[in-house]
Amino acid sequence: MRRTQRTSKDILQKAEGMAEQRNETWRQGKRISRWIITAGIVSISALVALVSMNLTGLQAAGSSAKPSPTVTYPVKQFADGKARHFTYRTPDGITIKYFIVRSSDGVIRAAFDACDVCWPSGKGYYQEGDYMVCRNCGKRFVSVKVNEEKGGCNPAPLRRTVQGDQVVLEVNDILEGRSYFDFSQRRRR
Give the DSSP letter of residue 120: G
Q: How many CB atoms sit inside 10 A of residue 5's CB?
A: 9
Domain 70-185 superfamily per CATH = Rieske [2Fe-2S] iron-sulphur domain (2.102.10.10)
Beta strands in 17-81 (DSSP E): 70-74
Which of 117 and 12 is assigned the larger pLDDT? 117
Q: Where are the domains of the chain?
A: 1-66, 70-185
Angstrom distance (rounded) from CA 70 to CA 65: 14
What is the amino acid identity at position 104?
S
Model confidence at 170: pLDDT above 50: yes
Name the pLDDT band for 186 (thresholds 50, 70, 90).
low
Q: Which of 84, 52, 89 is nearest to 171 (CA)?
A: 89
Q: What is the mean pLDDT of residues 139-168?
A: 89
pTM of the model: 0.61
